[in-house]
Amino acid sequence: MDTSETDLMLDASNILLLLKSTAPPAKTQFQVELPFADVVSTKTPGAALPVANTAPAPVTKPKSRPPTVLKACKRGRQEEEQKERWNIDERCHAGGIAAMTARHVERDAKNARMDHQLGTVTKKLASPDMLLIFCMHLVPGGVPLAKWPIPEIAKELKTMEDLRLFSAAFSPNTKGIIHPYLKFSSVDLPMDDFDQFVVKTFPNWAKKNRAFYNFASSVGLSKRPQVNEAGERVVTLTFCPAAYNNNLDRLCTAHGRKPVITPTQCADACCHGKWTPELWQSVLARR
């Protein structure tokens, strides 16, 4: 064997030793970055790779608010509204101003004691007591209605006048007990026209419908969205005499406190000698 062959064999042996010393261990694991969100590690040959879950996560849709359900007008409602006193038992579904609660009485008594000790005068939060007169001829029909002393600065007076002029174009119903200021017992207003009236009348309110609800309940009106016999969407406003007798103190009350009301019979010539115990008891029972 010559020298050149010996040198080639030595070089080949050195290369094999270098590869053997630098080879990775047999049990070494490699992590492969896949185009999925999960990371899968390699296994020994023959083992199956785990399958990555590529199904998209279920998307939950937000619950949509159901649209306002409009009830159809009651069959025969037009004939019913042509009868006299048909709306005498109409209900307004409205609350009232907080009455003189125990907390208010305690606060007023405390202020009175401090005024007596210090010689001062504290402005009372409660409205003064009110003597409320009921008259049977405030409107035609002989139904006792309260003569509320509404001050001229009350903004509801202008709103009622605007509503009266607006509703006059839609043939308001004047049968039954009519509203002393609005001059109708009920009226069907097209919903689009009504919405425009509310936006124009209450420009400074964020919730326009809430603004009209507060106004309507204060002046004795019931608001009911419906579908009339022709299939048109309308808003029906109905005068509620009982709500009128109970709620208009909001227009006459300062500081949001309901006064102590003492009802009394009208003694003028229009009602003199016409009151009966049963009629007066019905007035007291509705309060």
**What is the pTM for the complete model shown?**
0.64
Q: What is the pLDDT of residue 42?
A: 46
Q: What are phi and psi of 181, to 5 degrees?
A: -105, -40
* 26 belongs to a structural domain: no
Q: What is the pLDDT of residue 41?
A: 47
Cα 247 from Cα 44, distance rounded (Å): 86
Q: What is the pLDDT of residue 229?
A: 78
* 31 belongs to a structural domain: no
Q: What is the pLDDT of residue 114?
A: 87
* 27 belongs to a structural domain: no
Q: Would you tell me how many other CB atoms lie within 10 Å of the CB of residue 85? A: 14
* Parallel/antiparallel/unpaired status of strands 40-41 and 31-32: antiparallel
Q: Tokens standing for 278?
A: 């049963």
* 39 belongs to a structural domain: no
Cα 196 from Cα 200, distance rounded (Å): 6
Query: Residue 135's beta-bridge partner residues?
Result: 145
Q: What is the pLDDT of residue 1?
A: 55
Q: What is the pLDDT of residue 214?
A: 87
Q: What is the pLDDT of residue 198?
A: 94
Given a contact cutoff of 8 angstroms between Cβ atoms, the answer to whether 66 and 171 are in contact is no
* 59 belongs to a structural domain: no
* 160 belongs to a structural domain: yes
pLDDT above 90 as % of the chain: 31
* 49 belongs to a structural domain: no
Cα 201 from Cα 158, distance rounded (Å): 10
Q: How many domains does the chain have?
A: 1
**Residue segments in the chain with a per-residue pLDDT below the cut of 70:** 1-9, 12, 15-82, 93-102, 104, 123-127, 254-257, 287
For 159-168, the CB contacts below 8 A with 24+ separation are: 159/201, 159/215, 160/219, 162/197, 162/201, 163/197, 163/201, 166/197, 167/237
For 37-79, the pLDDT digits (tens) are: 444 444 455 555 555 555 565 655 545 444 555 666 665 556 5
Q: What are phi and psi of 41, to 5 degrees?
A: -100, 145
Q: What is the pLDDT of residue 133?
A: 94
For 8-33, the pLDDT digits (tens) are: 667 767 766 666 666 555 555 555 45
Give the residue from 123, 127, 121, 122 showing the smallest Cα distance to 100.
127
Q: Is 215 exposed, middle or buried (0-12, 13-18, 19+ CB in 10 A)?
A: buried
* 262 belongs to a structural domain: yes
Give the residue from 79, 64, 71, 101 showing the smallest Cα distance to 227.
71
Q: Which domain holds residue 255?
A: 95-285
